[in-house]
Copies of this chain bind each other. A is one copy, B any other.
Amino acid sequence: NKKVPITVAYGDGIGPEIMDATLRIIMAAGARIEPEVIEIGEKAYLEGFSSGIRPEAWESLRRTKVFLKAPITTPQGGGYKSLNVTVRKTMGLFANVRPCVSYYPFVKTKHPKMDVVIVRENEEDTYGGIEHWQTREVTQCLKLITRPGTEKIIRYAFEYARAYGRKKVTCFVKDNIMKITDGLFHKIFDEVSQEYPDIEKETWIIDIGAAKLVDTPEMFDVVVMPNLYGDILSDVAAQMTGSVGIAGSANIGESVAMFEAIHGSAPRRAGQNLANPSGLLLAAVQMLVHIGQNDVATTVQNAWLKTIEDGIHTYDIYQEGVSKQKVGTREFADA
């Protein structure tokens, strides 16, 4: 029953409100954690830390190895690096796990039976920031796909499928064009999948695969893909369940893990007790499982589901005739 220290960042915009709500809920459910608050985002950027994160914050992350992070704002203009990408790369968070599940009829969606987990490679592809001006008129960016990186993410996808009793892992690539890079990803998918004869496997060229996903998400279960495709299609899949606001995500590394909502900091809604804390809360549920507190995770998940099913809804998922009460961030957390 020892408390697990975790690093917590309240972030910018709606961040503080949804983090408050999230911590309040999981503490009430009995989370055995000790939050250690760091400051990241806008303030750190403007103090001159181009990554948006101060040295002490890194120190905390390295110590606790678990990071619950609210969305942050990156100031406009050049010179600022994406904090998400910096943390992912510095800490080696190679897998980005984004469950996209429909809660119909409680949350309105055109895809009532959707239950897809996007497993996105999280370090390679065009996310290296390796770009240059070759001439004043020609720019280039380097896409990277490696064997070790790809083996890790594909194996993770299959292990995840096995652990969660999922039946199929699908791979999306564009290897009719990128025969070497996406070709390598596809080849390693074929190799690694042989170690998992209990799990079905399938590969789609990303263009038609994405079309199928958007049309018939029931065809898919776990879908693994390179970084950039995963970035785009996880937003698409989350939105298809009704709102990008109810999807959490886990960024998993060999020693450190970061948990966050997939939406942004929505500065225009900040400070108004409006925001839906569900994305961050469901990320916190993933965190509780990660630190072995499955009992608390289940309590929180069920409480959340009951609140949604009771029709106690924030503005973004409010539906005339289905919702019973339109509530703010605080009242949603109370419920």
Contact = CB atoms under 8 A, between A and B. Distances in A.
Contact of A144 (B82, B138, B178, B232): B138
Contact of A239 (B110, B214, B264): B214
A178 B239 contact: no
Given A82-B176, A207-B235, A211-B238, A139 B146 contact: yes
Interface stretch (A19-27, A126-134, A279-287, A298-306): A126-134
Interface stretch (A30-38, A59-67, A179-187, A267-275): A179-187
Interface in A110-140: 110, 126-127, 129, 131-133, 136-140
A256 interface: no
A139 B236 contact: no
Contacts of A219: none
A324 interface: no
A85 interface: yes
Nearest to A264: B208
Contacts of A212: 239
Contact of A143 (B141, B146, B176, B231): B141
A163 interface: no
Contact of A214 (B208, B228, B236): B236
A145 interface: yes
Copies in the complex: 2
A254 interface: no
Nearest to A228: B174
A218 interface: no
A140 B138 contact: no
Nearest to A215: B239
Contact of A146 (B85, B138, B180): B138
A74 interface: yes
A179 B235 contact: no
- Counting chain B CB atoms within 10 Å of each CB, which of A141, A180, A214 scores highest? A141
Contact of A235 (B133, B140, B210, B238): B210
B181 A141 contact: yes
Contacts of A211: 235-236, 238-239, 244
Contact of A232 (B78, B232, B264): B232
Interface in A126-169: 126-127, 129, 131-133, 136-148
Given A140-B142, A214-B214, A132 B180 contact: yes
Contact of A142 (B143, B208, B232): B143
A322 interface: no
Contacts of A174: 228, 231
A206 interface: yes
A40 interface: no
Contacts of A133: 180
B228 A179 contact: no
21 contacts: A78-B179, A82-B177, A85-B177, A129-B179, A131-B178, A131-B181, A136-B147, A137-B146, A139-B181, A141-B142, A141-B143, A141-B145, A142-B142, A174-B228, A206-B232, A210-B233, A211-B235, A211-B238, A214-B214, A214-B236, A236-B236
